[in-house]
Chains A and B, each alone.
Chain A
Amino acid sequence: MEKGFRKTKSGRQIPEGEVITLDHVTKSYSSGAPALNDVTLHIKKGEFVFIVGDSGSGKSTLIKLLLRELVPTNGEITVLGYNLNKIKHSKIPKFRRNLGIVFQDFRLLKDRNVYENVAFAQRIVQTSTREIKRNVPSILATVNLAGKYKSKINQLSGGEQQRVALARALINKPTILLADEPTGNLDPNNSWEIMKLMEKINESGTTVIVVTHNREIVNAMKKRVITMKKGVIIEDEEEGTYIDED
């Protein structure tokens, strides 16, 4: 094997330290132009990446492909050594346990309190009750919600709800954190608080990928920025900025 490369579970060679590889990926739906058109992308372990672009640029499709909610029409996607084109349905849960996911609309279980929402993620990976009791307060402290573990979701502000979602995404110690418009429903203060938490998480070694429209945050944070337009990557730069398309 070539130096600096490693073999994936399906036998492909990918660069050492690369956690996400998209190789000429196209995703077409039944009608219209492809949502993603011949996209090639490499993301290394520990990177912090912003994906920006207008509506219809293919960002959401990219996230769905990375979650293996969708399968590419052409090309190949490898995430953490899993070939997502070939992964069996029964293996998808195991694959997803390596990912933490945060959505714009939080997607919390409104009939459960903060503690239960976070513990829920640990239940799914069959963590013992004793460990859950130890881990949940600790992760809630990380997102500054230790005092609100008994609160119902509808008693929390948007920022607090997003922090619960973040705690839920992080409790299983994911290798990659995927955030789809995490600040889309938040005011600037809360948005900054969430982004700082993500930066902190990234510093501890987690790869963070954030899809966003928030120009101010993207420009201030000086991270890698991938800009998409009409299904293709038009710009990919380290310490990039939000490009005005007009």
Chain B
Amino acid sequence: MRINSFFYTIGQGFKNLGRNKWYTLASIATIGACLFLFGLVFSIINNIQYFVHTAEEGVSVTVFFNEGVNEDQILAVKSDLEKRPEVREINYIDPEAAWEDFKKDYIGEYTDGFTENPLADSASLEIYLNDVSMQAALVTYIESLDVVRTVNRSEITADTLSGLNKLMAYVSMGIIVILLLVSIFLISNTVTMGIAVRKDEINIMKYIGATDFFVRAPFVVEGIIIGIIGSLIPLLILYYVYGSAIDYVHTQFAMLSNILPFLPVEQIYNELVPISMAIGIGIGFLGSFTTVRKHLHV
């Protein structure tokens, strides 16, 4: 292809946007509306998953040891447990440190009656998990160790969180798939109508001797530009809406901000921008490519 023909087809793609203003606006509005909904659902789901994840990170298992088990043995168990994939972090709670904390928190200055550390046998391991659904298996393993006296865990929290996590994964997949299907249907309809209106133009081009590529290229360029604009607009709106929503929740419900952490918009957009752009451009490209193909056999 000659270089000026290349620029001509690109130029025609841009000019087509102006020539078919209503079609362009309808397509951008459809893609924009679909991707706005997609972005909204994506942000909400990501935040819910983030809440769940944050809650999961707080779930710990505390392991207490039999009387007489010394620090070296406990540290050996610790390093053994650290090798397990479900374990994220283990803190060794020294009995002296535990007693100091206890005194500070509950007894204050009234410690004269204690000559010895009453928590001497309370050395423990505080285990945080990567995946709370693995808690039961880990606890069973730990309980089978000879040196272990007791294991404290919150079965209900762990089960609820892991169930919630699974449910969120299914629900989000379902919503996103439905949204994508609806978007593809709506957008391909818009593209089909827009191109059907220009069937004559395609026919003329074919009669004059245009190659399929030459006929298709301006439509595809047009589709891609519509895809880019159609994905950028909802991203910009959502950026503003998301920021405003977080500010609103933080100011109106200040107590919630400690309980419900929100993902920063930048973190959401790290994923949302490429996904939205890919969907917008992909649908613009495929929609125009396949619809023009129907009219090429003249």
Contacts and interface: CB of A to CB of B under 8 A. Distances in A.
B209 A128 contact: no
A128 to B, nearest CB: 6
B204 A128 contact: no
The dominant DSSP class at the B interface is helix
Contacts, number: 50
Contacts of A95: 209
B209 A93 contact: yes
B2 A168 contact: no
Q: How large is the interface on B (under 10, 10 to 19, 20 to 34, 35 or more residues)?
A: 20 to 34
A163 B209 CA distance: 20
B33 to A, nearest CB: 27
A109 B5 contact: no
A33 interface: no
Interface residues of A, number: 24
B209 A107 contact: no
A41 interface: no
Contacts of B209: 93-97, 99, 124-125, 172
Contact of A96 (B2, B4, B207): B207
B19 A101 contact: no
Contacts of B297: 89
A69 interface: yes
A101 B207 contact: yes
Contact of B5 (A96, A97, A126): A126
B2 A128 contact: yes
A123 B200 contact: no
A123 B19 contact: no
Contacts of B205: 120, 124
A125 B205 CA distance: 10
A168 B200 CA distance: 16
Contact of A111 (B1, B19, B203): B19
Contact of B2 (A93, A126, A172): A126
A168 B221 CA distance: 25
A124 B208 contact: yes
A69 B211 CA distance: 14
A89 B213 CA distance: 12
B38 to A, nearest CB: 33
Contact of B207 (A67, A89, A123, A129): A67
Nearest to B203: A107
Interface in B1-24: 1-2, 4-5, 8, 19
Nearest to A123: B8
Contacts of A124: 205, 208-210, 214
B208 A107 contact: no
A95 B210 CA distance: 10
Interface in A100-157: 101, 107, 109, 111, 120-121, 123-126, 128-129
Nearest to A169: B208
Contact of A109 (B1, B4, B204, B210): B204
- Ordered nearest first, which 5 A-B pairs have the shortest CB separation? A97-B209, A96-B209, A124-B210, A111-B19, A93-B209
23 contacts: A89-B297, A90-B211, A90-B212, A93-B210, A93-B211, A93-B212, A93-B214, A94-B209, A95-B209, A96-B206, A96-B207, A97-B209, A101-B207, A101-B208, A107-B204, A107-B207, A123-B5, A123-B8, A124-B205, A124-B209, A126-B2, A129-B4, A168-B208
Interface of A: 67, 69, 89-90, 93-97, 99, 101, 107, 109, 111, 120-121, 123-126, 128-129, 168, 172
Given A101-B208, A123-B5, A128-B4, 6 more contacts: A93-B206, A93-B212, A96-B207, A101-B207, A109-B201, A168-B208
